Structure 1
Amino acid sequence: MSEAVSALAGARASGLVELADAGATGMITLRGELSLLGGALQSVLGLGLPGLRQVVTGEKGQVLWMSPDELLVILPYAEATAAAAALTAALGDAFATVAVVSDARAMIRVSGAQARDVLAKLMPVDFADFPVGSVRRSRAAQVAAALWRVSDSDWSLICFRSVAGYVWEGLATVAQPGGEVGLYR
């Protein structure tokens, strides 16, 4: 990944939460009939299909449910191209799309006890009912984003790389001390 593409380049920030650029991350979008995609995922990555708005995690990566006909595979950056080729081969003639979107997306990690409060300032999401292993597509401020809960206090957010600086600055601003909300305790 070129420096021009890496908008956040290892950025970190502290406040009410810890923000961290996840760095170069492999991402593959799969579109098609989920049952067909599931077979390819299992054979290539050993990962099953996630349920509705869920994340499946395994040794080789993660699979996020994005819509009734779309999945997002997260894996090491260096493995994305080969995995996409293997998924394409495993799908054969099936009506499906496999696209490496690693360089088009950025991932930000949000960690800390007040993560839900900070995220809720930018995202119209019900964080009261958002269990670990769940994913939501929404927006962060005014841009498209996807978010999933990794653990009780750890979250991952994906947005287009072209707006990653905007999302980062928004998160860093609403995470400043003095802006505590205390809604999700």
Structure 2
Amino acid sequence: MFEPRTALQGAHFSGDITVTDAGLVGMIAIRGSLTDPALCAAVAEVTGHPVPATRKMSGDATDGLAWMSADELMLFCAYGDAPTVAARLVDALGDVHSMVSVLSDARAVIRLHGDVVREVLAKGAPVDLAPDQFAQGDIRRSRLGQVAVAFWMTGADSAELVCFRSVAGFVFEWLSTASQSGSAVGYFATPRR
């Protein structure tokens, strides 16, 4: 039997922001028609979260449900609970056209904290990260550098990011480099035109 471990094995960096491995996180992809009342009812019953609106997230990487695309949700839960929760979802969905997949070991979650979190993300993600355009509860699937990521604000100065496990080391190093002490550009400190 193997001992589960994260791709980043507890990595931590402190600069203008802190970049931290979130540890083992349960992740379950749910695919289907997000407008199907039966799917929405089953998901809400099992997860305790209603199906979020487009580009929204309910909760965080410890207990949350994220809109990932027009036909995909990502459920975040305790790592050890993911197989049981996935089985409950399959049972609740019954004959509803859907797919449920545990992705916990295929993804990594990174936590970001600090006054310039938005600036660090803006250095590599083509997303308008101004507070009036990207608030807590919003999620974006995008890229950071040239790799696929999804991220969301968990507070005014904190965010979480999920990426493929295979690129977690690159994403962590990219974030660490982009948040070297003194590297903030002050973009959000001045009025935008």
Give yes or no for contact 1:50–1:64 (8 Å, CA) kept in 2.
Answer: yes
Q: Distance in 2 between matches of 1:2 and 1:37?
A: 34
Q: Normalised by the size of structure 2, how large is the TM-score?
A: 0.90
Moved over 4 A (4+): 1-5
Instruction: Work out whether 1:73 is the aligned partner of 2:71.
Output: no
Instruction: Work out whether 1:180 is the aligned partner of 2:149.
Output: no
Match of 2:136?
132
1:48-59 → structure 2 map (5 Å cutoff): 48-57=50-59
Q: 1:152 aligns with which of 132, 153, 156?
A: 156
Q: 1:87 aligns with which of 74, 86, 89?
A: 89
Shift in Å, 1:57: 2.4
Shift in Å, 1:5: 5.8
Q: Name the aligned partner's letter for residue 105 of structure 1.
A: R
Match of 1:37?
39
Q: Name the aligned partner's letter for residue 8 of structure 1.
A: L
Q: Any idea what the Cα deviations from partners look like across 1:118-167, whole Å, max 9, x if unmatched?
A: 11112111101101100000011111100011111110000000000000
Q: Distance in 2 between matches of 1:55 and 1:97?
A: 20
Change (3 A) 1:15 1:161: same
For residue 138 of structure 1, give the secondary structure of its aligned residue in structure 2: strand
Q: Distance in 2 between matches of 1:168 and 1:3?
A: 22
Q: Normalised by the size of structure 1, how large is the TM-score?
A: 0.94
Instruction: Work out whether 1:103 is the aligned partner of 2:105.
Output: yes
Question: How well do the aligned residues superpose, as a CA RMSD in angstroms?
Answer: 1.7
Change (3 A) 1:2 1:54: farther
Shift in Å, 1:33: 1.1
What are structure 2's unaligned runs of at least 5 residues? none
Percent identity reads 46
Q: Any idea what the Cα deviations from partners look like across 1:40-86, whole Å, max 9, x if unmatched?
A: 1221122111111001129x821000111110000110110000000
Give yes or no for contact 1:30–1:37 (8 Å, CA) kept in 2.
Answer: no
Q: Distance in 1 between matches of 2:59 and 2:121?
A: 23
Instruction: Work out whether 1:161 is the aligned partner of 2:183.
Output: no
For residue 136 of structure 1, give the secondary structure of its aligned residue in structure 2: strand
Give yes or no for contact 1:17–1:114 (8 Å, CA) kept in 2.
Answer: yes
Shift in Å, 1:4: 8.2
Give yes or no for contact 1:55–1:62 (8 Å, CA) kept in 2.
Answer: yes
Give yes or no for contact 1:5–1:161 (8 Å, CA) kept in 2.
Answer: no
Instruction: Work out whether 1:171 is the aligned partner of 2:175.
Output: yes
What are structure 1's unaligned runs of at least 5 residues? none
Aligned residues: 184
